[in-house]
Chain A
């Protein structure tokens, strides 16, 4: 029982000390940023990319964003929505941060957005891509803005691209959760709207390690296979697919071939095509410099997780530049951000009126080659086609798009499945 008491009093003393410390150093130009990423658990490696990307931008700016001295506080959200909420509250209530940045999983994004509303604190999401946060649920979250993407954003042009390749029938296989539904749903809608048919949808559970039971069920009359894998699934699936003697073209969502997993992949993925708003193989001077600096610093190729957080730092800096280094308040911050157009590593980016970026979507093919003067041939996501300035609604009419339900396991319905 004394233990319980100690456990209570100890944190109190520590907490008090911390509060005093922050009060003492608080100055007008201090910008406190609370950063949430999973730094432990199975998503720790992704979390590291997120933190590294953001930290790298701050380091380059010497922690000074247009006159505001940045105090970055990183908290471990453990890839659990309820822990993320607790940590966000800690950052807001105890550290008095000006904004929360981060959150990996879509479910974490859905959990953090209400916190931003109830605490009236700015929340910027660089990664969590749940569609409805900037679509049907937007009005609930006035302090929320996204610098990343919506899950279905790259899928819309990608569906068109698949039609252009002459594919008629496609089998989709993807991780069985909201992100998977949205990526595949967006692809299916676009692909079927230009005349294609998704003839089968297979949903292995997230974290599946053995695709043996799923691969043989893939229909043989398909022209191509669309995959949406996350984490370790991305490594395993192409291996087993190749081992099964597959000759069909393989295309997929961005996370299936992101640079986060690409260096660990084998030659079986050469020729696979995916779509995302970033590729480490983008040939522009800004990206080349970024890849080289990132590689020198962290000894690995930057993934989209690194890039989007780096770019988020840039967004914050650009807003602070407009305000002369003064914190403008969450609402004003969002207003300024929405009126801006940035030339980032991933290309030109602006904000739509629903606080989601309008950006280039790149169709990328995995190739083994030398890039940026590195002397070894490696796997790179070579850009083979660019769809410029794609919004989260693609070519669809916004009002009509918002009338349809969010992409799910049952929407769009699989009309051509038997």
Chain B
């Protein structure tokens, strides 16, 4: 598949979402909005995981700071409920980036399982703050956001809000796509493949990874702002390890290093967990089976499926040729 065709498919899929979803039931619109908002976090993780080769277990922290900031500003200062919503979006990204800039200083020195553990610990620090800093975060009860912003358009309307989140999603996807295709993105892939060689070639690999980490944090903050308004509530549950693991699993399920793979992963997991669970009680088995089968048969994720089919077809063709040869 040429990359132009791939881009066309992605654009067509987003357009299809934009057209189809508003005509579904309001519950499906809600789930689609949730999946889109969370997808931004998964994609931000994919920059680290798929392109820089850094598996982070603390990505929920950025969603957390973005969402808590939005909720605290909205409930305490009535800030971010009009046109200043855009300011909150910027602040959310800055806060996510700032936190990542701080955490990156500690985490980027490590690689592999050590990086995993440091990000896990840092993520749990943020969870601990959310859980214990009662006066600010409401502790275990979290914070309810009363209303969604209103500026010319009313985001309380489900369909309007869906489109707003879809726009943010599309812009994030575009921005991250440009990023990973840029020379900077290429050098990240180089670091993933062989860091030593990149060092010898004269790249400051630490700085490259650090910048990628900060950018991922910024997008994490953005997804947090959107998440707070999507869910209408933020509590420590959204910051705990499970949320980070969810993001990681979604990225792997869809296919790491593909950006859109994470989106597919997010949609599948949300659909199974929140839609299928309204239909059948054994939804967890389906989710488990999807994970296990993907890891067994599609180690490169669902995005590896077309490639695998093609290769499989090709192998068959070759075998036929071989058997045909002696006669």
Question: Which B residues, 185 to 211, have Cβ-Cβ distances below 8 Å to chain A?
Answer: none
Q: Is the Cβ of B134 less than 8 Å from the Cβ of A409?
A: yes
Cβ distance B127 to chain A, nearest Cβ, rounded Å: 11
Closest residue of chain A to B284 (Cβ to Cβ) is: A40
Does the CB pair B20–A408 fall under 8 Å? Answer: no
B27 touches A15 (CB 8 A): yes
A8 and B231 contact, CB distance less than 8 A = no
Closest to B140 in A: A177
Q: Mark A11-29, 1 if CB is under 8 A from B, else 0.
A: 1101110010000000000
Q: Please report whether the interface of chain B is mostly helix, strand, loop or mixed according to DSSP.
A: helix
Asked if A12 contacts B12 (CB within 8 A), the reply is: no
A8 to B21, Cβ gap below 8 A?
yes
Tell whether, in the assembled complex, residue A111 and residue B144 are in contact, meaning their CB atoms are under 8 Å apart. Answer: yes
Find chain B residues with CB under 8 A from A176 CB: 132
Say which residue of B10, B233, B264 sits within 8 Å of A85 (CB atoms).
B233
Question: Is the beta-carbon distance between B142 and A81 smaller than 8 angstroms?
Answer: yes
Report the minimum CB–CB distance from A4 to chain B (whole Å).
Answer: 5
Interfacial chain A residues near B279, Cβ < 8 Å: 14
Stretch at the interface among A53-61, A86-94, A232-240: A86-94
B260 touching A1 by the CB < 8 A rule?
Answer: yes
Q: Are A107 and B141 CB-contacts (below 8 A) given A1-B13, A19-B25? A: yes
A75 to B278, Cβ gap below 8 A?
yes
A342 at the interface (CB under 8 A from B): no
Cβ A9 vs Cβ B268 within 8 A: no
- Docked CA distance A409–B140 (Å): 12
A82:B302 contact, CB within 8 angstroms: no
- Residue interface bits B17-39, CB-to-A below 8 A is 1, else 0: 10011011111101110100000
> Do A4 and B13 touch across chains, with their CB atoms under 8 A apart?
yes
Task: Check A8/B24 contact, CB under 8 A, given A85-B232, A87-B278, A409-B134.
Answer: yes
Report A32-78 residues with CB < 8 Å from chain B CB.
39-40, 75-76, 78
Return the chain A residue nearest B305 by Cβ. Answer: A3
Q: Does chain B have a CB within 8 A of A114? A: yes
Q: Let me know if A177 and B32 touch, CB within 8 A.
A: no
**Cβ of B121 under 8 Å from chain A:** no
B144 touches A110 (CB 8 A): yes
For B9, what are the chain A residues with a Cβ–Cβ distance below 8 Å? 1
A11-B271 Cα distance, complex, nearest whole Å: 8
- Distance in angstroms between the alpha carbons of A115 and B277 in the assembled complex: 20
Is B12 touching A1 in the complex (CB atoms < 8 A)?
yes
Q: In the bound complex, what is the Cα–Cα distance between A178 and B284 (angstroms)?
A: 29
In this complex, what residue of B is CB-closest to A14?
B279
Q: B233 to A81, Cβ gap below 8 A?
A: yes
Give residues 108-141 of A contacting B (CB, 8 Å): 110-111, 114-115, 130
**Interface flag for A384 (CB, 8 Å):** no
A5–B13 CB distance below 8 A: yes
Contact of B27 among A82, A94, A115 (CB under 8 A): A94
What residues on B are CB-neighbors of A93 within 8 Å? 25-27, 30
Chain B residues 68-84 with CB under 8 Å of chain A are: none
Beyond A1-B260, A86-B274, is A81–B13 a contact (Cβ under 8 Å)?
Answer: no
B302 touches A3 (CB 8 A): yes
Question: Which residues of B in the span 99-149 have a Cβ within 8 Å of any Cβ on A?
Answer: 131-132, 134, 139-142, 144, 146
Could you write out 23 A-B pairs with CB less than 8 Å apart? A1-B13, A3-B264, A3-B302, A5-B13, A11-B24, A14-B279, A15-B25, A15-B27, A75-B277, A76-B281, A85-B231, A85-B233, A86-B231, A89-B26, A90-B30, A94-B25, A94-B26, A94-B27, A111-B144, A111-B235, A114-B146, A114-B232, A115-B232
**Contacts from A to B (Cβ < 8 Å):** 1-5, 7-12, 14-16, 19, 39-40, 75-76, 78, 80-83, 85-87, 89-90, 93-94, 106-107, 110-111, 114-115, 130, 176-179, 206, 408-409
Q: Given contacts A11-B275, A90-B27, A93-B25, list 14 more A-B pairs with CB under 8 A.
A: A1-B260, A5-B13, A8-B16, A8-B20, A8-B28, A12-B23, A86-B231, A94-B25, A110-B144, A130-B141, A177-B131, A178-B139, A179-B140, A409-B134
